[in-house]
Amino acid sequence: MKVLVVGSGGREHSIVKKLVESNQVSNIYAAPGNGGISAEATCVDIRETEIDKLVTFARDMQIDWTIVGPEVPLIEGIVDAFQLADLRIFGPTKKAAIIEGSKDFAKAFMKRHHIPTANYATFTDCDQAKAYIQKNGAPIVIKADGLAAGKGVVVATTVEQAIEAVESMLLDNRFGGAGSRVVIEEFLEGKEFTLMAFVNGSKVYPLLPARDHKRAYDDDQGPNTGGMGAYSPVPDLDQSVIREVEEHILQKAAEGMVQEDRPFTGILYAGIIETMNGPKVIEFNARLGDPETQVVLPLLENDLIQVIEDVMNEKDPVLKWKEGYAIGVVVASKGYPGTYEKQIPLPSFIENAESYVVHAGTILAENNTYQAIGGRVLLVGAVEETIEKAHQSVYNFLKQFEQTNDFFFRRDIGRTKINVKNS
């Protein structure tokens, strides 16, 4: 089969790596791909949002399956466009992707279907939002309704911070249309984890749970990022909690979307916080998570294309998992998640049998060396029988990056207790 992967990040490189393992796949294309992906697939100079061009490419190249990595093309209707052209694509339609595209929709949906989540209210009027904050006090959580590149969430520890966040979104137009409506949530505290699932209508097939580290620096200090590393499975997570999320969150969400004539197909991502009152949803996403994918897919024994075919044919793929643990640590550009320089050469590194490298923000330069063009540049991972051995393998590899001042990484991934407040 010929397979097209849409996207350019670490998640997409992980998908490509999994497809390489399949004896059913003969050609892999990535649009637009990245430096690391180019070593394992044919990169195509089409941006992920150029939907018409992607449809034309898939038709002309007789692509058998298209797998969509990022959220923006899903929310813009790439699946609908491919289906209209009678092309096979794995992901939710525009109507279903709204579960990620609008936090207001997702919160109201959860309320309608009795899915546990934080109490909330939604506002478009700044004065009304500020009055609600004054009434409820802090800490409190402010979220832009739409997509804001992972930056639309403020966990305000004071009323003043909360009011400033609301004003920046509703008055100063900080996030454009994504912030023209704000969701204000009850503050929750607990340990976060992610549970993703293959979904087709009301059929739900969960993956292994994972936990990512959001803060930029060791000991969960510094600003929130898109994720500085992750591990899977989660040792301190009780099986009863996982079952509760599978049955009362993922399954109910899938059934609810069917009931509302928005049947969901693809990967449903549930960001969960384990509170004293049980697991509650922080957010739903309509695709694989990043960096969670980079530690979950390496543990999957199944052929990814066969799983997708089974799911789409309403057949249980019978997911099988390797024994052990995966840890992944992100190498980021100095300055991330703020401003950082681009086209910085990466130090030469030697890959080994104990670790794997996933590229996120890289390009392959003319002299056949990699340059960093993104905030999160690489993820170095390892699969071992214990989480301690995986940790050791990853950090042994990362010694190759200790002599550079252009990049940084956390040294405690998989070691810290993650306390998350509606991140």
Q: Is residue 415 part of a domain?
A: no
Please report, for the domain that includes residue 37, its CATH number: 3.40.50.20
Please report, for the domain that includes residue 393, its CATH number: 3.90.600.10
The residue among 146, 170, 186 that closes a domain is: 186
Q: Is residue 143 part of a domain?
A: yes
What pLDDT is attached to residue 421?
46
Q: Are residues 196 and 164 in the same domain?
A: no
**CA gap 194, 209 in Å, rounded:** 6
What pLDDT is attached to residue 415?
79
Q: Are residues 213 and 304 in the same domain?
A: yes
What pLDDT is attached to residue 416?
54
Q: Is residue 218 part of a domain?
A: yes
Q: How many structural domains does the chain have? A: 4
Q: Are residues 226 and 303 in the same domain?
A: yes
What pLDDT is attached to residue 419?
42
Question: CA-CA distances (angstroms) from residue 126 to 129, 167, 182?
Answer: 5, 7, 9
Q: Is residue 107 part of a domain?
A: no
The residue among 94, 129, 158 that closes a domain is: 94
Instruction: Find all residues with CB under 8 Å of 16, minimum gap 6, and list them.
Output: 5, 28, 30, 37, 40, 41
Q: Are residues 231 and 245 in the same domain?
A: yes
Q: Are residues 200 and 306 in the same domain?
A: yes
Q: 3-state DSSP call for residue 358? A: strand
Give the predicted TM-score (pTM) of the model. 0.95
Parent domain of 391? 325-408
Please report, for the domain that includes residue 168, its CATH number: 3.30.1490.20
Q: Is residue 414 part of a domain?
A: no
What pLDDT is attached to residue 277?
94
Q: Are residues 294 and 205 in the same domain?
A: yes
Q: Are residues 296 and 329 in the same domain?
A: no
Q: Is residue 112 part of a domain?
A: no
What pLDDT is attached to residue 420?
44
DSSP characters for 266-333? EEEEEEEEEETTEEEEEEEESS--TTTHHHHGGGB-S-HHHHHHHHHTT------B-SSEEEEEEEEE
Is there a contact between 192 and 423 (Cβ–Cβ < 8 Å)? yes
- Per-position pLDDT tens, the chain of length 423: 999 999 999 999 999 999 999 999 999 999 999 999 999 999 999 999 999 999 999 999 999 999 999 999 999 999 999 999 999 999 999 999 999 999 999 999 999 999 999 999 999 999 999 999 999 999 999 999 998 877 788 889 999 999 999 999 999 988 888 889 999 999 999 999 999 999 999 999 999 999 999 899 999 899 888 899 999 999 999 999 999 999 999 999 999 999 999 999 999 999 999 999 999 999 999 999 999 999 999 999 999 999 999 999 999 999 999 999 999 999 999 999 999 999 999 998 888 888 999 999 999 988 889 999 999 999 999 999 999 999 999 999 999 998 889 999 999 998 754 444 444
Long-range contact list for 232-240, CB < 8 A, 24+ apart? 232/208, 232/292, 232/295, 232/296, 232/299, 232/325, 232/326, 233/208, 233/209, 233/299, 233/325, 234/193, 234/209, 234/210, 235/325, 235/387, 236/191, 237/193, 237/209, 237/274
**CA gap 295, 300 in Å, rounded:** 10
Q: Are residues 124 and 168 in the same domain?
A: yes
Please report, for the domain that includes residue 270, its CATH number: 3.30.470.20
Q: Please, which residues bridge with residue 176 across strands?
A: none
Query: ∠ at Cα 324 (281, 214), nearest 5°?
Result: 40
Peptide bond into 291 cis (omega under 30): yes
Q: Are residues 291 and 208 in the same domain?
A: yes
Q: Up-side HSE of residue 279: CA atoms within 13 Å toward CB? A: 23
Is there a contact between 308 and 3 (Cβ–Cβ < 8 Å)? no
Q: Are residues 40 and 71 in the same domain?
A: yes
Q: Is residue 43 part of a domain?
A: yes
Q: Cβ–Cβ contacts within 10 Å for residue 275, how many? A: 14
Q: Is residue 320 part of a domain?
A: no
Question: CA-CA distances (angstroms) from residue 346 to 7, 288, 337, 350?
Answer: 22, 27, 18, 12
